[in-house]
């Protein structure tokens, strides 16, 4: 068994969750915050058989849209020491996905 950990943008949550539910996957949603932009993210924990991992990833990719965002007030810790406050362009949306081995799974 594998655990797919997907970090997605809050705005994509409903669409991705609907798509996963339609495909019959079980998952848990954890409210999260991006470390850089400090905006709303959701972290999905999806436990699946190894043979389903690629399908889960393609379901997420189909639904998670990527877009660019101008950050006019970058987080202070990022800008510390740089002496400038110019807007920067970052890519948001899409999904950051980790796949890890599950040593043991029990549904007690
Ligand atoms: P954030 O940390 O809020 O980052 C949002 C987006 O800002 C990133 O998108 C990236 O395009 C940009 N960004 C992040 N750090 C940057 C920096 N130091 N300089 C310039 N631009 C920067 P993604 O790479 O798609 O990441 C989306 C979210 O996924 C991240 O939100 C974070 O919550 C998570 N994430 C990404 N890589 C991760 C990792 N290696 N481990 C854990 N979480 C990760």
- Work out the average pLDDT over 81-98: 79
So what's the pLDDT on residue 79? 57
Taking only the tens place, the pLDDT of each residue in 56-84 is 999 999 998 888 888 876 565 565 555 55
Q: Which CATH class name applies to 2-66+93-101?
A: alpha beta
List pLDDT tens digits, range 27-59: 999 999 999 989 899 999 999 999 999 999 999
pLDDT above 70: residue 100: yes
Tell me the domain boundaries of the chain: 2-66+93-101
pTM recorded for the entire structure: 0.85
Residue 91 CB–ligand 1 contact under 6 Å: yes
Question: 7: CA distance to ligand 1 center in Å?
Answer: 10
CA 14 to chain centre: 13
How far does the centroid of ligand 1 lie from the alpha carbon of residue 69, in Å? 13
């Amino acid at each position: 068994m594998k655990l797919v950990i997907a970090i997605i943008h809050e705005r994509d949550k409903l669409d991705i969750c609907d798509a996963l539910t339609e495909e019959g996957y079980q998952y848990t949603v954890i409210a999260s915050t991006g470390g850089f932009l400090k905006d709303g993210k959701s972290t999905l924990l999806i436990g699946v058989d190894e043979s389903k991992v690629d399908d889960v990833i393609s379901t997420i990719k189909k639904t998670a849209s990527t877009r660019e965002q101008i950050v006019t007030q970058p987080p202070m810790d990022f800008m510390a020491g740089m002496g400038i406050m110019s807007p920067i362009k970052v890519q948001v949306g899409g999904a950051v996905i980790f796949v890890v081995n599950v040593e043991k799974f029990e549904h007690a």
